[in-house]
Every structure is written in C-alpha cells, then in structure tokens.
Amino acid sequence: MKNITIAGGGLVGSLLAYVLAKKGYQVHVYERRPDMRKEVIDGGRSINLVISHRGWTSLEKAGIAEEIKEIIVPAFGRMTHDVNGDQHFYPYSIHGKSISSVSRGELNKKLMNLAEAMPNVKFTFNQKCVDVDVETGTAWFEDYNTKQTTEVKADLLVGSDGAYSAVRGKMTSLPRFNYSQQYIDHGYKEIHIPPAADGSAQLDLKALHIWPRKQFMLMGLANLDNGFTGTLFFPYEGEESFSTIETAEQAEAFFQRNFPDAMPLIPNLTEQYMSNPTSPLLIVRCSPWNHKSKVMLIGDASHAIVPFYGEGMNAGFEDVKIFTDILEELGDENMHEVLDQYSAAREKNANAIADLSLRNFIEMRDLVADPQFILRKKIEAKIYKKYPEKWMPLYSQVKFTNIPYFDAWTEGQRQDKIMEPIMALPNIAQIWDSDEVENMILKSL
C-alpha cells in the first residue's frame, strides 16, 4: 500500500491528505474546483463553521491544532434576539467552554497549505471525478478546461467529494449498498453582517447570534475581521418562504417585520437577499462506506447532515481520526479489515448525529425562546453541576466531549424521558430549584 488517490480536496479530504502523508503514503488529491488560494470562488457562499471538541481532537492528533487556532473566534454561548430587539445570553457550558467559529474558506486554504507542504502530497485542481471502477480503485478525472480525461489507479481510492459524491454515486450500483437522500423543507441564504465603519463589531463577538422565529431563523457567527456571517434558514414554500419573498420590496418588508434589530447592521441587506444564492439542505445516509480494500468514503460523501448542530465537518474530522486509529492498530496489510471496521464504527454514529441535527433545528429556531425549554436547561445545569458523574446535558456531550454520537443520542433520549414528567409538574416554574425536584430526578437516574 503506497499510493492513495483522494477525490475532493475540501475540508476532510485536505486533512486526510495531510494525515496520510505524515504516515508516508504518496497522496494525490484531485479537486473539482479551481485552487481557492488563487481564485475567488463560491461568491455568497463564504459560510463559516463551528469547530467543536471532537474536531479539535482530530486536529490535535494530526498535530496541527495550533495553526488552526490562529484563525478562529470563540463563542461562549447563544445570544437570542427577539422581535423587539431584546437580547438574552445563554452560556453553552457551566464551565465556560466555547465553540470556535472559523471561515470555511480560510480553514480549507490552511489545510491545503499544510498538506501541500508535505513532499509526498500533490493537489491537482479543476479535476472532476467522472467515473470509478470500485473493484480496482481506479478513478477517471475530467479536466475542467481541456475536457481531457485522466485515468488514475491507486492502492486506495478515497471519496471525500462531499454531499453529492461521484464516488458514492458509483457505489450505489453495488449489490446490498444502502443509500438514502432527503431534502428538508428549508434552504439557506448567506447574509453578511459587516463590521461598523470604524472597524468595531456590531454584535457581541463572544456569542453565536440567533434570531429564532419558529418556522425560520437567522444566525450569525463571528469572523476575524469583526464582521459576522449570517445565514437565513428559511422554508422553500409557505406563507413566509423563499417562494413568497421574491422582490427587494418584499425582502425589505420581511426583514423589517421579523428582524428589525438586524436591519440597521446590514446596509445592503435586500441586495444581498436578492443576489446571494439559495442553497438546499440535504441528509445522506449510506452503508457500507467501503468496497473491499479499494474504495472508502469519508466526510459528507458518506454522511451529509443538516447544519443545525454545527457538526458535519466535525464528524468528518472524527472519521479521519477513527480511520487512522484503526489503520494504526491493524496495519495497511489488512486494509480490507481496516475499512470494514471503520465503516462499522462510523455508520451508527453518523446516523445518530443526522437525527440529532434535525432535532437541534427545532431547538434553535423555536425552543431557545420558549420559557419551558429555558427552565429545563436551568434544571439540567443544576443537576450537572451537582452530579457531573450522573448527568451531562446532551449539548455538552455532543460539543464538548468525544462521546460517540450514538451514545450521546441514547443518553439524550433517556434524559428526555426523565425530564418529561418533571416539566409536566403544574408548579415547576416555582419549585424547579427545590429538593423535591432534585430527588425526583435522582430517583429516575
């Protein structure tokens, strides 16, 4: 095992290239797009991302966490904005822990630079994977400019070519390959919130900002330049939806009605709404993630999820770590076994974070402003503080630990069952801090 082809030089493909090169493999990354370090691509899609604990764990294992820390902005909690412009801050952790906001483009460029600095990694751009022979690990890449197709055969072909993966597409014709794809009713549009004229931030930099409006929401994550990348998550159809807000005037009235405090922060809001692309949100589940010892899937190619837990890339980075852990244990002379174990270990966790991410959409767009939900969080924080060995809130398990997603989700469902009767107590708002409630919870545990 010497040569590895990686189809897709996005976040996960670039990290994997670096990690495999450190292990001595010859890695060739073929990326469909032009080199983003030389050309501006994806206008209006500069989305920033949150790195959480498990993402950091993978970056630490790769030995590059310090370089990435240079380009992040920490967020210590949610700042909700109601329609009257009132803001409320809810910390993510009772221990002052934070998640890290990072520009997708800057992170991708940094990972590419780190990988390309290795003598045994090569990136070739404008190369679209158009066909794959899964039995031999051979891939065909079409050059975007010349339209010439190159055949590439390697010991292992990795599909890290994202949610619409061509490598996975080829695997779907294999016998007993499971595959499902689901578009949710909502899409998203980027709305950039610039810094003030003097360069200062217009919103609290230490928070992830949410304007929850039940059926839709606006969200803002800080950038290094004191601006924020805002994202409007909005239904495609319905009374208030992409299909009914079609003109600049309608967009202006919609924002005035729903996000009046955001309007003065974004001078060209309606222009952005009209010109920035609307993108769909997709969930992909599949199994297995390998074909024998020749082909494997990783990142969004194997598990595209909706972005409401901010875990898609983190899950992909975790794939890289788990794959290399197993590779180190079994050795590449057992690649078939390595890939079988990797696939088995990751699938149930990917399905769990897919479910958790859908659940978090409801939490973010609706529940964060709900007094019952806020009260439940308060009770959970109290129990967590007093009995950390017995109770850890689901959000903390997902964002601040490496507890497998499947285990976190199982524990979260158990916590739901315990909290249901507690929250149904008629006078819970008055007695939430009492020994009675505490004892009821302890008894259920």
Ligand X SMILES: Cc1cc2nc3c(=O)[nH]c(=O)nc-3n(C[C@H](O)[C@H](O)[C@H](O)COP(=O)(O)OP(=O)(O)OC[C@H]3O[C@@H](n4cnc5c(N)ncnc54)[C@H](O)[C@@H]3O)c2cc1C
* Number of residue whose CB is nearest ligand X: 10
Site track 314-343 with ligand X (rule: CB under 6 A), x = hit: x-x---------------------------
**Least distance in angstroms from the C-beta of 59 to ligand X:** 12
Q: Which of 4, 5, 13, 391 binds ligand X (CB under 6 A)?
A: 13
Burial of 214 (0-12, 13-18, 19+ CB in 10 A): exposed
* Dihedral angle over CA of 380, 382, 384, 386, nearest 10: -150
**Least distance in angstroms from the C-beta of 79 to ligand X:** 16
Interface with ligand X in residues 354-393 (CB under 6 A): none
Binding segment for ligand X among 7-15, 84-92, 191-199, 240-248 (CB under 6 A)?
Answer: 7-15
Nearest residue (CB) to ligand X, 132 versus 338: 132
* Count of residues in the chain: 445
Per rule CB under 6 A, is residue 310 in the interface with ligand X? yes
**Least distance in angstroms from the C-beta of 276 to ligand X:** 12
Task: Give the closest residue to 4 by CA, choosing from 137, 142, 107.
Answer: 137
What's the rounded Cα separation, in Å, for the pair 162 and 316?
10
Per rule CB under 6 A, is residue 49 in the interface with ligand X? yes
User: How many Cβ atoms are within 10 Å of 383's Cβ, its own excluded?
Assistant: 21
In the block, residue with structure tokens 């008894």: 443
Burial of 440 (0-12, 13-18, 19+ CB in 10 A): middle
Per rule CB under 6 A, is residue 9 in the interface with ligand X? yes
Alpha helices in 183-229 (DSSP H): none
Site track 269-308 with ligand X (rule: CB under 6 A), x = hit: ------------------------------xxx-----x-
Per rule CB under 6 A, is residue 159 in the interface with ligand X? no
Task: Give the closest residue to 180 by CA, choosing from 302, 10, 346, 348.
Answer: 302
Interface with ligand X in residues 238-267 (CB under 6 A): none
Are 223 and 229 in contact by the 8 Å Cβ rule? The answer is yes
What's the rounded Cα separation, in Å, for the pair 283 and 430?
41
Where does this chain bind ligand X (CB under 6 A)?
7-13, 30-33, 47, 49-50, 128-129, 160-162, 166, 188, 231, 299-301, 307, 310-314, 316
